[in-house]
Each structure stands twice: as C-alpha cells, then as structure tokens.
Structure 1
Amino acid sequence: MPHPTDLDTRPGLPEDQRFLLEVHPRETWAGHDNLGGLMRFWLSRHDGFREMGAGLDSLISDFREGNVAAPDLAPLLVPRLQVFLGELHHHHLIEDHHYFPVFVAAENRMARGFELLENDHEVIHARIEAVAESANALLRDLQAADPDRIRRAADAYAGESGRLISGLMRHLGDEEDLIVPLVLERGEDDLGVS
C-alpha cells in the first residue's frame, strides 16, 4: 500500500493540512483582496514550470514519434531543459530557506505540510539529477549511428523526465493548496513576505 505522503501516489495534501484550504478554496483565490503581488508572481512561476514541463514532454514525444529529427533535438532540448532544471532548483532553494520558515513560524499547525513539501524538494532534486544524466546520455547517443541505441536513450530520458514532471505537478498543486490559503488568511504584509 502506498504511503499517504508519497509524491507519486498521494491524492493531495494530508487531511489535517487542509484546514485553511477548506476556508479558502481555489475558486476564491483570484478575487481575494489578500492575493498580493508576491503570491501572483509565485503562482505565475508555478504556471511557468507547468508550461515548461509540458513543452519538454511534447518535444521528447515528437522526437520519439519521428516528428523531430535527431540533428534537431539537441538545439531544441538543451536550452529548454537547462532553464527548466536551473530555475526549478533555484525556486526550491528560495522556498526552503526563506519562505517556508516564515510560513511555519506564522502557523505551526502547518509544520507537517511544510515538512512534506521539503521532502518533495529532495525527491524532485534527485529526479533533476536523473533527468540531467539521462539527457546527457541521450545527447551522447544522438551522435551514434545506431537507431536502436538512440531509441533506448530517448525512452530512458522520457521515463526520467516523465517521473520528474508528474511528481512536480503533484507537488506544485499541494504547495499552492497549503500556502495560498495561509496568505489569504493573514495577508502578505502581516506574514512579512510582501
């Protein structure tokens, strides 16, 4: 049986961490007076990660289906993947070292939720490394004339990338469900994050 906090199988935040989400459900966020500039920016960053992840998924699918030629893959993949992985790593560092401590101090009943998110960051970081390794292997194998070797490398990269992106999508949703209701409840200024 999967653990209820496992990034790949959990259906959302643990029940005891949803108490503010019940007060401030997603459909109320956009028009809320306490949704300030920082939260709007932060949510737009999350949407950017979703878009970049979808674009990377689409690119490797197109390559595996023969819609992108082998010589064209590296110039398309490398800059996008570097930006995605680098920005994601930097984003998590800021959250772990700046924002999460502020939020836990403001509402200690949410400490378990932030521990869950920090654990997600560790899992995601390991997956970032696995994606980078599999992308490098794919780029090396693109130089080979062996289509089977290229296909295996593309399949391996697609698997690692898929694991990263699917886990990231679960994480982003849960992170928003924990943090945005707290900010709506208290306000960015009162929390000291404006």
Structure 2
Amino acid sequence: MTHDLANRDRLPPDLVTLLADWPRERWSDVPGFEGLSAFWLDRHLGFRDLMSGLRLDAEHMAGGRIDPQRWQGRLLRGGEQLVQGLIGHHQIEDASYFPTMVRLEPRLARGFDLLDADHHALDALLDGFVTSANAALQATDPQESALAFHASLAPFEKQLVRHLEDEEDLIIPVILKHQMG
C-alpha cells in the first residue's frame, strides 16, 4: 500500500492501533470529548462543508441555476475561508499539536510525519485551487468557468477528505487517551 496522499486509501494498520481502544463510534461517549476532540472534528466538518458548498455552487452555476454574481461572491468568500482556514489549521498542527502528540505517543511518530507530508501535498493542491478559482472568477463565460472549476475540485476534495479522515483516526484517539483538553 502506498502512503502518499494521492494514492492512499487509509493509514497503515500500525498507525491506527489506538482505534481499537478508542473507536470512532464511541468517541462522543468518552469523558472530555467536548473539549479538544469535538473542536478538532468541528473544524474538519467545516472544511468538508466548505468543499461541498463550493462544489454544489459550481454545479448550480454550470447548470444556470444561480446568478453569476452570486456564485462569484460565494466562491470568493468560501474559497478564502477554505484556503485561510486550512493554512492556519495546518500551521498550528505542525508547530504545536503534532510535536506534543509525538512526545505522548512516540510509536506513532511515523504517522505524524505522514500527516506533515500530507500538509505539503495539500499546499500544492491549495495553490491549484486558488489558480482555478481565480480563473473562474475572471472568466467571461461563468457557466463554462464553473464547469472547469468543478472538474478541478475533484482531486483536491478527494485528497483533502482522505487527509481529514486519516488525521482524525490518528489524532482523536491520542487526544482521548491522554485527556488533552
């Protein structure tokens, strides 16, 4: 199994061993879940919702079901929220959370290295996203630009969702096990 973000379908089994004791379906039942774990999952849900909204808006624009100016405004605002949110989220993880979690669970260090590598891959995808969004915003034919933008979202969304799921599978059990806030 390949471990790079573009080709990975899940984390290697040795990196998700804590899921046996802290399975997803029971996370919300763990005392202290409402702290950092719930916050982390909420941030991730926000990124998923932004991607979904951007994709749906592009579909509506391509089908002529939304006013072009409204679509452009939503793309501008939603795109900016997504890009700035992901950049900030990843900076905090890389600088603070990941080093702390590696100290708590050194056997998972390779997993945190993998997530850090994901962040670099996502940076390149974010650059492509910004380029595609800017092209869509400057195009003379909003419906055609929406089609092109929509097509550009698929690989980015797939890799983003893969990263978010893998990050949750690695990180939330660490947070719960060590009662990190």
TM-score range relative to shorter protein: over 0.9
Report if the CA contact (8 A) 1:138-1:150 is conserved.
no
Aligned residue among 160, 163, 166 for 1:171: 163
Using the TM superposition, give the Cα deviation of residue 108 of structure 1 relative to its aligned residue in structure 2, in angstroms.
1.0
Instruction: Give unmatched runs, 5+ long, in structure 1.
Output: 189-193
Q: Report the more deviating stretch, 170-179 or 61-70.
A: 61-70
Out of 66, 70, 73, the residue aligned to residue 71 of structure 2 is: 73
Cα distance in 2, alignment partners of residues 72 and 186 from structure 1: 46
In structure 2, runs of 5+ residues without a counterpart are: none
Corresponding residue of 2:56: 58
Equivalence for 2:148? 156
Count how many residue pairs are aligned between Structure 1 and Structure 2.
181
Give the structure 2 partner of residue 131 of structure 1: 129
Q: Which residue of 2 aligns with 1:184?
A: 176
Letter in 1 for 2:171: I
- Structure-1 separation of matches of 2:10 and 2:71: 35
1:65 Cα deviation from its structure 2 partner: 1.6
Deviations 1:52-79 (A, max 9, x none): 1111111111111221233332122111
Distance 1:36 1:5 in 2: 31
> Aligned equivalents of 2:55 and 2:115: distance in 1?
24
- Is the partner of 1:91 in helix, strand or coil? helix
1:174 Cα deviation (Å)? 0.5
Conserved? CA contact 1:34–1:183, under 8 Å? no
Alpha-carbon distance between aligned partners in 2 of 1:78 and 1:122, rounded to the nearest angstrom: 23
Q: Displacement, 1:172?
A: 0.6
2:47 to 27, 39, 49: 49
Q: Is the 8 A contact 2:61 2:68 kept in 1?
A: yes
Counterpart-to-counterpart distance in 1, 2:92 and 2:17: 25
Instruction: Percent identity, please.
Output: 36
1:34–1:187 CA contact under 8 A, matched in 2: yes
Q: Partners of 1:116 and 1:63 in 2: how far apart?
A: 37
| 1:91-170 alignment runs, 5 A limit | 91-141=89-139, 144=140, 147=141, 151=144, 153-170=145-162
